[in-house]
Amino acid sequence: MASGSPAPTRQDRRRERTRARLLGAARTLFARQGVEETRINEITEEADVGFGSFYNHFDSKEAIVEAVLADSLGAQGAALERATRELEDPAEVVSVAHRHFVRLARTDPDWAWLLVRLEVSHNVMVAALGPHAQRDLERGISDGRFAVPNARVAFFATGGALLFVMRAVLDGDAPASAERDHAEGVLRMLGLTAADAAEVARRPMPRIRVAA
């Protein structure tokens, strides 16, 4: 919160609680029955709030889908940050992040579908994971571990590569080795030699705990 902003009023807190309940209900329903099959009135019933109050928080179903996704991507980003804080090699940090998300396409396909099939994917990924990804990339560049023609292009190219590989995993169209193979490709793109990329992508994965 910006310093000098007033303390939240009781009304602010109630508003925040309603929003959190709507998000929780939407997350539950999307996982249970899919986004397409979920209607706004089901979300408000599950959240036990009036139908009209949905629109005090979100313009449309699309808007709450985007918010659910942004929240969970934020939690994934924070978990990755904690898990990789002690790693000294910036290449390993990037490798772990990409492997984690490819793995999620296998271990949590409902969530992964939410990410890959929506028109909002690009915006949400850039907003929620962008700062993490960009910082990891810049760290590798300033350490001399990465060398890319343009950091901005590398940022988008590696993000898009990740999304398509996740989609291929969801479609059952990717090999069992996709996680490692994809990380190798990303590391090569960032300037590692093929041999270095192969070695880094094979290091053991740290434990990644996502806050509920």
* Positions in the binding site for its own copies (CB under 8 A): 116-119, 122, 147-150, 152-154, 156-165, 167-168, 173-175, 177-178, 180-182, 184-186, 188-189, 191, 193-194, 198
Closer of 139 and 188 to its own copies (Cβ): 188
Q: How far is the CB of 26 from its own copies (least distance, A)?
A: 19
Taking the C-alpha atoms of residue 112 and residue 89, their distance in angstroms, rounded to an integer, is 27
Is the Cβ–Cβ distance between 94 and 140 less than 8 Å?
yes
Taking the C-alpha atoms of residue 95 and residue 200, their distance in angstroms, rounded to an integer, is 7
Closer of 84 and 158 to its own copies (Cβ): 158
- Residue type for 2, please? A
Q: How far is the CB of 20 from its own copies (least distance, A)?
A: 28
Looking up tokens 């036990």, which residue turns up?
Answer: 48
Closer of 77 and 185 to its own copies (Cβ): 185
The residue count for the chain: 212
Task: Please enumerate in sequence order all residues whose Cβ is within 8 A of that of 195, keeping only pairs 6 or more positions apart, or say none.
Answer: none
Q: How far is the CB of 212 from its own copies (least distance, A)?
A: 29
Closer of 20 and 153 to its own copies (Cβ): 153
Q: How far is the CB of 137 from its own copies (least distance, A)?
A: 12
SS3 state of residue 176? coil
